[in-house]
Amino acid sequence: MGHRAAIVGAGHTRFGALDAGPRALLRSAVDEAFASVDRAVDRASVREAYLATLGFGGWQIGNSAAVLAEEAALPGIPVTRVENACASGGSAIRAAVRAVEGGAPGLVLVAGLEKMTDLPSARRRYWLGVSGDTEWERSAGLTFAGVYGLIASRYLADHPNGRDALVEVAVKNHGNGALNPKAHFQKRIERSDVERAPRVADPLGLYDCCPVSDGAAALLISAADHAREYTDRPVFIDGMGAGSDRLAVQERPELTQFGASRWAADEAFRSAGVDRADISFLEVHDCFTIAELLALEDLGFAPPGGGAEMTLAGETRRDGRLPVNPDGGLKAKGHPMGATGISQAYEVFLQLRGAAGARQLAHPHRALTHNVGGAGATATVTIYSVG
Amino acid sequence: MPLGIERAAAYVPRTSVQGRRSAAADEDGFTMAATALERLGDGGSPPGPSPRLLVAGELPPSADADLPRFLGVPVTVERVGSGIESVRTALSAVAVAPEPPPPILFVAVDRGSGGPNDSDAAVALRCTADGALPVDRVVAELEGKGPPSAGPLLRFGTGRAAAEPSRWVGDFAPGAVHPVAPTPRETPLVPNAPVSQGAYVPRPRYLEGVGAHWRFEGERCDACGAIGFPPRGRCRSCGATDRLRPMPLPRDGGMVVAATTIGPGGQPTELDEQVERSGPYGVVLVDLVPGVRVTLPVADSSAALAIGRRVGTRLRRLYPMEGEWRYGRKAVPLE
């Protein structure tokens, strides 16, 4: 089907509880993205910018994309904030690809940001919860941990080996995060750490949940035909899909399947013209450990319940048949909501160019990223290859 | 034409504190009255135009507006005081209602005196011309009883109405004692912390949702037969907008399909105070009927509800918002 666009530069701040504010984080990620472009690039070649953020830092909600233009030193360019909760990043990449798809010259900047640790705990938990259904789920006392806790309870009732698999996801992703110098958590954990952790939303405990993180990531995207003006090693975007589902989980027929992810994956594979077997590794949206098992199944790599089996068989480890979240995933790398989808593409950019350092996979040639908004109300899937 | 009591129902909380049946922290006079009215049958919804609803006892002022909302039909609320004298007077007035007598609902709430054997209770009566138990006999029976409103009425009902062609149901089950730590008699209505907007639903939208939240009122599509919940005015299945009609969904007997317990830190901010006071709480997904699912908190003082269990639901207090208590249904173990 051919290439639809190319990533020619990528930048990424450290994820974690950081002193830096939203402006400094944006500037740092964007500067690193420009510096990563192999040939000299004039910032004036950037035609447009998209900012993926849910709440910026919980305060500059409106017009925050104008701040991106300021910090990227791109005065006057058209900017748009893209918001699909935790899938904002993937959705912004989709918008950027469409902006260059006709073969237009120049670059489009996509940046993602969240600054979450400035806020007092109560206000932060407000921001963490605004993307779920308010009238039924929030009113019943659920945050996203609770919604995923309900989903996990059903998964474990249907698939008894799921409990062990959840533990394995946490241990694996922390192990990967330990090799990622930009990850929020860079420490290995043991199964007993996961099992003994306090319960946040039974059956999910503290180690089943991603952390609250600050961070930003940025990509420079060109039309596929123009990519080699910037680099000899572009990472191509070959397929994209997106989907949505009913906001409240109670209105969906299936509790342990995300229709939005399934439809997005089908569209992505169809548009890329490749099969599941062609994919070297996955970056999936593991905001909670259960979400990684659902992702393997929704993306078509395992039948219902098969996500647990694949995980327990070690197939998703870095040295397994299909590595999943080699950067540590949301679980260990951190989850600054708007930045997450961009961060997944950043990892693909490094891995496909052989620049992932200690966590480099052996010769990956094609990758898939999967970004979910909330508990599956929105999702994007993107498929990449290296030239 | 004299009226008679056609149906009677009581609600006595399950929670027992030193032998006294005590309302849980998420109950108040309004939720107790609503539960008793609900038990009259058909959700307590009275047929006919603008029936009277006589209200006695310890209900918050907001109940005057909330009780008609709960019943879902226009009713005229009349406060008749809290003492037994006012109850007797009110029932006497009912007994000599003009012809043709409209149905009259009566609900009384007694929060007890705090002493042993003086339980919190709510009693609801439906009085019509066809009622088999003459109201004047009830009035005579109440002569000389003590001051609390619902207590004597409840004792009268348990001892007497059971033998009559009326229905008497309640949570009171001798021997089924659930000892818990004493709960505060009234949880103060405190403003949310300034930052807490977690489950913020503006008041007009909250009131718009009362039919779905308080009565499980869904919609049925006559074009394709699908049931939609909550009602959105458009069939989720075929898209029709003109052939939808309200459809009440069962409030008891649904099945738990997913269950979680929220531990400290997992709760939205508006429940911080509750978690501080009462600890972890349960939330369940319940299939009311196949294909219709609802998210419900587990009621205060109820044990955890596991997947596969059949549950009942009750109107309870959720959390304070905009200076008032927000109410909604919670899951309870099915008796």
Chain B residues within 8 A of A201 when measuring between CB atoms: 260-263, 266
Q: What is the pTM of this model?
A: 0.91
Of residues A61 and A309, more confidence is placed in: A309
If contacts are CB pairs under 8 Å, which of residues 16-35 in chain B contact chain A? none
Verify whether the Cβ–Cβ distance A126 to B318 is below 8 Å. Answer: no
Tell me the pLDDT band of A350, cut-offs 50, 70 and 90: very high
Residue contact B196–A201, C-beta within 8 A: no
**Interface mutation target, options B235, B262, B322, chain A, most CBs of A under 10 Å:** B262
pLDDT per residue as tens digits for the range B66-89? 999 999 888 889 888 765 566 667
Mutate to test the interface with B, among A250, A254, A256, A288 (most CBs of B within 10 A): A250
For B109-136, how does the pLDDT look when each residue is reduced to its tens digit (9 = 90+)? 877 665 555 667 788 888 777 766 666 6
Among this protein's residues, is A287 annotated catalytic? no
Q: B230 to chain A, minimum CA–CA distance in Å? A: 9
Residue B52 scores a pLDDT above 60: yes
CA torsion A30→A33→A37→A42, rounded to 10°?
-10
Please name which of B190, B260, B193, B247 lies closest in space to residue B215, comparing C-alpha atoms. Answer: B247
- Residue A135: closest CA among B220, B7, B329, B332: B329
What is the per-residue pLDDT for B44? 46
Is the Cβ of B139 closer than 8 Å to some Cβ of chain A?
no
Using a pLDDT cut of 90, give the percent of chain A over it: 91
Residue A44: burial class (beta carbons within 10 Å; 0-12, 13-18, 19+) = exposed
- Residues sharing a CB contact under 8 Å with residue B93, sequence separation 6 or more, in sequence order: none
Q: Is A365 a catalytic residue?
A: no
User: Is B269 an 8 Å CB contact of chain A?
Assistant: yes
**By the CB < 8 Å criterion, does B290 face chain A?**
no
Nearest CA in chain B to A140: B297
| Residues of chain A neighbouring B293 (CB-CB closer than 8 A) | 250-251
The CA distance from B119 to the nearest CA of chain A, in Å, is: 29
Instruction: Report the SS3 class of residue A239.
Output: strand
Which chain A positions have a beta carbon within 8 Å of B199's beta carbon?
129, 134, 138-139
In this structure, the dihedral spanned by the alpha carbons of residues A283, A286, A291 and A292, taken in order and rounded to 10 degrees, is: 50
> Looking at residues B88-103, what average pLDDT do you find?
67
Residue of A12, A184, A285, A335 marked active site: A335
DSSP code, position A238: E
Question: For B300-325, what is each residue's pLDDT tens digit?
Answer: 767 779 999 999 999 999 988 878 89
Smallest CA-to-CA distance from B48 within B124, B5, B101 is with B101
Q: Residue B104: its pLDDT value, please? A: 83
Q: Please report, for residues A133, A225, B196, the alpha-carbon distance to residue A212 in angstroms, rounded to integers and kept in the order given.
A: 20, 39, 18
With an 8 Å Cβ cutoff, are B195 and A249 in contact?
A: no
Q: What is the pLDDT of residues A365-383, one digit of tens each?
A: 999 999 999 999 999 999 9
**Chain A residue whose CA is closest to B316:** A140
Q: B201, A151: Cβ pair inside 8 Å? A: no
Closest of A353, A362, A329, A296 to residue A175, by C-alpha: A329
Give the pLDDT confidence of A41-52 residue by residue, as tens digits. 999 999 999 999
Query: Average pLDDT, whole number, for chain B?
Result: 77
Chain B hits for A145, Cβ within 8 Å = 262, 266
Q: Minimal CA–CA distance to A108: which of A197, A202, A223, A186?
A: A223
Q: Quick check: B249 contacting A, CB < 8 Å?
A: no
Interior CA angle at A40 toward A37 and A44, to 5°? 95
Q: Is B258 on the interface with A (CB under 8 A)?
A: yes
- The DSSP H or E segment spanning A261 is helix A259-272
**Identity of residue B69:** R
Question: Can you give the pLDDT at residue B182?
Answer: 39
Burial B247-282 (b: 16+ CB within 10 A, else e): bebebeebbbbbbbbbbebbbbbbbbbbbeebebbb
Residues of A in contact with B196 (CB under 8 A): 122, 126
pLDDT of B157 higher than 60: no
Residue percentage of chain B with pLDDT more than 90: 36
pLDDT at B154 over 80: no
- CA A200 to chain centroid, in Å, comes to 23
Assess B213–A contact: CB distance below 8 Å, yes or no.
yes
Query: Cβ of A141 and B283 within 8 Å?
Result: yes
Alpha-carbon span B335 to B330, nearest angstrom: 15
